[in-house]
Amino acid sequence: MFITELPVSKLYKKLKSRLKLQPRYVLRAMLVIPLHNYKLPIIIPKQSHPANLIIKDQHEKIYHLGYKSTLCAIREAGYWLTNSLSTVKSYLREFLPCKRLRNKPAAQQMGNLPEERLEKTAPFTRIRTDVFGPRYVKDRGTENKKWGLVATCLYSRAIHIETLEEMTTDCLILALRCFMAVRGPVKTIVCDNGTNFVGMRNKLSSQLNLTDAKLNSYLQGNKIEINHNTPKASHQGGVTERMICSIRAVLNGMDIRNKIDTKTLRAILFEVANIVNNRPLTGTLIHDVEEEIMTPNRLLTMKGRY
């Protein structure tokens, strides 16, 4: 800005009553700081091309530290930006290198619930299964590994846990047999693409090498369908993964430090399933004292916790 342009400048007229101006071919402000750059900073209009160049230069010199540090660097360099805070913030908000460094990833939009989650059925008619573990047990002086098979009801959100002796197809079939003996018939079983689940499906479809012929006739008589997640789509198993997270939280809270045997582990897993099934399915009721909280156990047993 030239000296001859100062009297007719809108910026000059606006700042004349607020700052002591001393033109030196550029517009400088008289302040009470002894350093020359602080005492006579060059005033740069906001949202201008020179302002953007100065912000970019000083921001890169401090390696993209932040808007407060950028403002400090601009002042130390001898510049005064009008509306400096909003100007620097708006520029850094659209500065591509900073967006790459600090921007959060876009939030995943939740899709529609599958039909089996909305269809009203009896508990454990449609389930999703998964395996968690291992847990170390000690039987007769020998240390072994045991796993847990969790079956999650897609409608009531209740869970059932069975102990797996080994990660084999035969042990998985026996665990499902125990589950169906306790919880009743199942129409649909959805699982991931683990080798034991795939092997179970192959055995049931080929009707070969079954440990019990009655199990085969039972599955065929009740028309149980076994489905798998889409390959490389682990997010489809989020229903069971969330339950496994709750199961592990309860197990960690029990603080089991000593080695336990298989019988104790089985009892502990049943207790864990009972605790998880007592979680509320709706928001905590704080207004209506008489209304009971809906839990999976109430849908299963029609009884409360106490």
Q: What is the pLDDT of residues 142-197, one digit of tens each?
A: 889 999 999 999 999 999 999 998 888 778 888 888 998 999 888 888 877 655 55
- Side-chain-facing half-sphere of 98: CA atoms under 13 Å: 19
Q: What is the residue whose two structure tokens read 């589950």? A: 179
Q: Which domains does the chain have, with CATH numbers?
A: 3-101 (1.10.340), 115-280 (3.30.420.10)
Q: How far apart are CA 88 and CA 272, in angstroms?
A: 54
Mean pLDDT, rounded, of the chain: 78
pLDDT surpasses 90 at 243: yes
Quick one: pLDDT at residue 24? Answer: 46
Q: Write down the pLDDT at residue 161.
A: 96
pLDDT for the residue 139: 86
3-state SS string for the chain: CCHHHCCCCHHHHHHHCCCEECCCCCCEEECCCCCHHHHCCEEECCCCHHHHHHHHHHHHHCCCCCHHHHHHHHHHCCEEECCHHHHHHHHHHCCHHHHHHHCCCCCCCCCCCCHHHHCCCCCCCEEEEEEEEEEEEEECCEEEEEEEEEEEECCCCCEEEEEECCCCHHHHHHHHHHHHHHHCCCCEEEECCCHHHHHHHHHHHHCCCCCCHHHHHHHHHCCCEEEECCCCCHHHHHHHHHHHHHHHHHHHHHCCCCCECHHHHHHHHHHHHHHHCCCCCCCCCCCCCCCCCCCHHHHHHCCCCC
Which positions ≥6 away from 29 have C-beta within 8 Å?
15, 19, 20, 21, 40, 41, 43, 80
**Residue 144: both structure tokens together:** 């072994």
CB 27 within 8 A of CB 42: yes
Q: With 70 as the cut, is the pLDDT of residue 21 above it? A: no
Residue 52 near residue 92 (C-beta atoms within 8 A): no
**Full-model pTM:** 0.60
Q: What is the pLDDT of residues 107-138, one digit of tens each?
A: 878 778 888 888 888 999 999 988 888 888 98
Most confidently modeled of 18-22, 142-146, 168-172, 227-231? 142-146
pLDDT the model gives residue 217: 59
Directed axis angle between helix 49-61 and helix 84-93, to 10°? 70
| Weakest mean pLDDT among 14-28, 67-81, 112-126 | 14-28
- Whether residue 8 has pLDDT greater than 90: no
Q: pLDDT category, 221, cuts 50, 70, 90?
A: low
What pLDDT does 286 receive? 59
